[in-house]
Chain A
Amino acid sequence: MSERAAALVIGASVGGLTTAAYLARAGLHTLLLDAGQAPREPDGALIALDPRMVSELRLAASGLSFAARDLPMALSGDTPLLLGRELYAASAALAKFSDADALAWPTWRRRLATDARRLRRWWWTAPEAGEPNAAWSTGAREAFRHLCFSGADAYLHARFETPSLLAGLLWDAGAGGFAVSEPGSALALVWRAAQEMGGLQEVAAIPHPGTLIGSLTRNLGMAQLRTGTRVTRILTKSGGVTGVVLADGSEIEADHIVSTLSRAKTLALAGLAHVTPSIAEARILLRVAPDFAVPDSPPARHILAARPGMHADAHETARAGRIPADLPMEWVTMAPGVISVIARPVPASLDGPARLRLAAKAVLALSPVMPGLADALIHVDIRLKPQRARLADLLAPPPSRLLTPVKGLILAGEDAEPLPSISGRAGRLAARLLLSS
């Protein structure tokens, strides 16, 4: 007779660990399956951990601590530009480039904060919250419609003129795989602002290595973590899940399965039709010799994008299946000797040589700011996250983002957030959804 669990969680990432912790607290017999040898550290900087999750699971008491919080945005160019939370410092920095932009910056950030405050409830606390704009004034609703349908390029070009600033902000608008002219990409900037406001101290933060995963693992309680366990099939019967098949051929029965894999991968495991996005975000982890000094002071997220037009061009090239020649990237220092580079957009399927080319491209792009990087390189790891954000994802109420056509199969990975991110919020909502059913 095969094994049985009340709930199965696939993937011991931040989302999976969070779900398992919540389920275990509720007394559910929970199994957490992970294909790797140990729970996975996040690939890049976090964008605001869910504050409720942090406090309810008492993560700080369980060891969570941060190496850097509130990373400012550093823009490349002949004159470097650092944009932090402090509005007037950022404005003063911008004054070196353009008086008009220096003036426009604080106004725009405040406007963004207003929009973000309005949408926060919708993004985070619904299902019970109604339509995002039900209670708004007519003027606010009209402005919201305009914002929804605006592409970030037009939206930003109407406000700013400094090329490096535009290129940097457009990088954020391209999150999740938006083309910067698509409706929803301007809203992506609001989403980011909402994340930053909600996380307070954990904005664009880097946890000390191991402390986030460690503190979550300490919360697992009765939930059982099994590493080295790959799920090869999700079993369904008359529209509901019944269990999973593992790589070794054994089966585990369960009425509820939470998957932190992507929507496409999860549906594929369940044998359902799915659309795989044609483009992806590449997450490249570079390990360098411990004595190699990474010039990252003050710590920042560095955007490598010089030309505002490069985002649209790169998107077109990536969709055509080629790695863009001019590829926008962002890098942060994760820990001494560990640099995380995010490059997007790239084609969703890249063979070995193409991945190698991509890694070389990242090293080349970083070399001007880090002379000697190529010599200091010890280890390179590349992961591709296929993603193609749509306006509907940003406006969909949370339960629909988490749900699948299969009864009992819930998503809690990066895909279940309005835009892909590692915040733990999807994990908490997934557990709540499962417990309420």
Chain B
Amino acid sequence: MRYDAAIIGAGADGLTAAATLAKAGLKVVVLERAARAGGRLTTLEFHPGHFASPYADAVPEVPLAIARALGLDLRPAQPLPDGVKAIRDAALDRAFADAMEAPAAGALARWLAPPPQSWPGEDLAVAELADWPALRSHTLAGRALDPELAGSALALLSLPLSEAASGGLGALGEDFAEGAEAAGAEIRLRREAVEVVIAEARAAGVALADGSRVMAKAVISTLDLRQSLLSLFSRTALPAHMLEEARNWRMAGATARLLLALRRPLRRESPLFLPGDSAAGAAFRQGRMPNAPPLLLDPVSRRDPSLAPDGAATATVTLGAIPYRLFDGGWTPEKRTALAAHALARIEKAIPGTLAILASVKIIVPPDMESGLAATAGDLDGGVLAPDQMLSLRPGPRTALAGFYLGGRSTQAGPLGTGAAGFAAAAALMADGAR
């Protein structure tokens, strides 16, 4: 049996791509390594009755068209300021337009070729996040970003705004999966892709870890750029310049999360942001645990009571500038505990009485993000959001290998909206369909 498209990864991007293609009448299969669909859109019962999403509390805004097409139940997102919203929307339109435009016949899409004209949003590539004080906390949370450096404002394009109406991100993930299945896509769980099958210089299918193969006319990988190019192909299968670009693609996870089960509600209703000190960046670069990393405490059960038992509460702590690799070895249980203790001490100082109501803490550090999401180095952005890795300088959906598309966070549309990269990859695949 041969599919029209095989999609690697059942996260928001993979499911959006699947739904888009299936609606157009293509036969689509989504291959997911984990036992459930949703990717980072997942909710965990980390303590009896307490639920939270391990990777994030919210994700970059789901474009309206995708939310409607998949029937998502979203909480109304807090609006972006007009300037940033206009830039984000224009950049997204540009990414979609480029994807929908089939390359001229005979002209091989150059690998990672940025389109010649300037992209919207390049003003942000030289602007500083410090100039948007109101958005600072949520942009800095979980990142190793210096808000005073030129280019830091680019992360505004990836501000987490969308969350599920109820049930945490996991409910949103289920919505995505249901939307894809309703459109006619097939989702196969516990199927780990290990290699892209190439036949006649085209991607022709996916080899799975269990030894079986899924054959398809085209393959979309929603993994990050490094995973997609360096681990899904044998060394000689791709042109050297493609591998070189992938090797130079910078990925750096910087996020650690604490999920807090609290016996009573926190004495604070709004999120609390404690900025990092000026040495946090240096510590991150040197692989040391920062003394005072940027910290965002979000009492999530205030917004969504379904995340905690009656009378109790759930909160999350997102820490930034946390190195993936520590200079003195791995993330041992002792180091995890130290990280949590340090963060809790800072919170206790800001909100006295928090420790007294603490029932349980779940600690998630960058290597956990990596193993849980197959995200290189635990990078949740699919690659550092630096000016030379953003907008047109991110890879587009097309690659030099015919029939192989990129649809993950590492691509142009990836940081601009949840599901957007999957939609762009599906659009590119359909535009190229005639070839």
Q: Does any Cβ of B come within 8 Å of A319's Cβ?
A: yes
Instruction: Please tell me if the beta carbons of A149 and B125 are within 8 angstroms of each other in the complex.
Output: yes
Contact B281 A183 (CB under 8 A): no
Contacts of A179 in B (CB 8 A): 146, 149-150
A138 to B150, CA, bound (A): 26
Find chain B residues with CB under 8 A from A309 CB.
282, 285-286
Q: How far is the CA of A181 from the CA of B125 in the complex (A)?
A: 12
Q: Which residue of A lies closest to B146 (CB)?
A: A316
> Which of A155, A319, A390, A392 has a CB less than 8 Å from the CB of B278?
A319
Please give, as numbers and ranges, the residues of chain B lying within 8 Å of A182 by CB-CB distance: 149-151
Taking CB atoms and an 8 Å cut-off, the chain B residues in 262-286 that contact chain A are: 278-279, 281-282, 285-286
| Chain A: minimal CB distance from B185 (Å) | 36
CB distance from B143 to the nearest CB of A (A): 13
For chain A, the bracket of interface size reads 20 to 34
* Candidates A158, A313, A391; contact of B248 at CB < 8 Å: A158
How many angstroms from the CA of A182 to the CA of B281 in the assembled complex?
A: 14
Within 8 A of A (CB), among B357-392: 386-388, 390, 392
Beta-carbon contacts under 8 Å, B194-224 to A: none
Cβ contact within 8 Å between B149 and A149: no
**Which B residues touch A151, using CB under 8 A?**
151, 386-388
How far, in Å, is B427 (CB) from chain A's closest CB?
A: 22
Q: Which residues of B contact A142 (CB under 8 A)?
A: 113-114, 116
Interface centre among A145, A158, A179 (most CB of B within 10 A): A145
User: Assuming the A-B contacts A146-B114, A146-B393, are A316 and B281 also in contact, with contact meaning beta carbons closer than 8 angstroms in the complex?
Assistant: yes
* 16 examples of A-B residue contacts, CB within 8 angstroms: A141-B116, A145-B114, A145-B118, A146-B114, A149-B390, A155-B388, A158-B248, A183-B387, A183-B388, A184-B126, A309-B285, A313-B286, A316-B279, A316-B281, A317-B282, A390-B150
B148 and A319 within 8 A (CB)? yes
Q: Are A181 and B149 in contact (CB under 8 A)?
A: yes
Interface size on B, residues (CB 8 A): 26
Chain A 36-68: CB-based contact to B (< 8 A → 1; otherwise 0): 000000000000000000000000000000000
**Which residues from 235 to 265 on chain B have a C-beta closer than 8 Å to any C-beta of chain A?**
248, 250
> Which residues of B pack against A, CB within 8 Å?
113-114, 116, 118, 122, 125-126, 146, 148-151, 248, 250, 278-279, 281-282, 285-286, 386-388, 390, 392-393
Whether the Cβ atoms of B387 and A149 lie closer than 8 Å is yes
Report A31 CB to chain B, min CB distance, Å: 39
At the interface, yes or no: A406 with Cβ under 8 Å from chain B?
no
Could you tell me the distance between the alpha carbons of A312 and B387 in the complex, rounded to whole angstroms?
Answer: 17
B residues within 8 A CB of A378?
A: none
Residue of B nearest to A182 (CB): B150
- CA distance in complex: A319, B250 (Å): 25
Residues of B within 8 A of A146 (CB): 114, 388, 393
User: For the complex, what is the distance from the CA of A182 to the CA of B153, rounded to whole Å?
Assistant: 12
Q: Are A312 and B281 in contact (CB under 8 A)?
A: yes
State in angstroms the CA–CA spacing of A55 and B151 once bound together: 41
Cβ B282 vs Cβ A313 within 8 A: yes
Question: Which single residue of chain A is at the shortest CB-CB distance from B391?
Answer: A149
Report Cα–Cα, A300/B378, bound state, in Å.
44
The answer to whether the Cβ of A259 comes within 8 Å of any Cβ in the partner chain is no
Name the A residues within 8 Å of B118 (CB-CB): 145
Are A183 and B150 in contact, with the CB atoms below 8 A? yes
Which residues on the B side are within 8 Å of A319 (C-beta)? 148, 278
- On chain B, the residues within 8 Å of A219 by CB distance are none
- Taking CB atoms, residues of chain A closer than 8 Å to B148 are 319
User: Which residues of chain B are near A316, meaning CB under 8 Å?
Assistant: 146, 278-279, 281-282
Cα of A374 to Cα of B278 in the assembled complex, Å: 33
Residues of B within 8 A of A390 (CB): 126, 150
Q: Nearest chain-B residue to A139 (Cβ)?
A: B110
Residues from chain A with Cβ under 8 Å of B125 in the complex: 149, 183
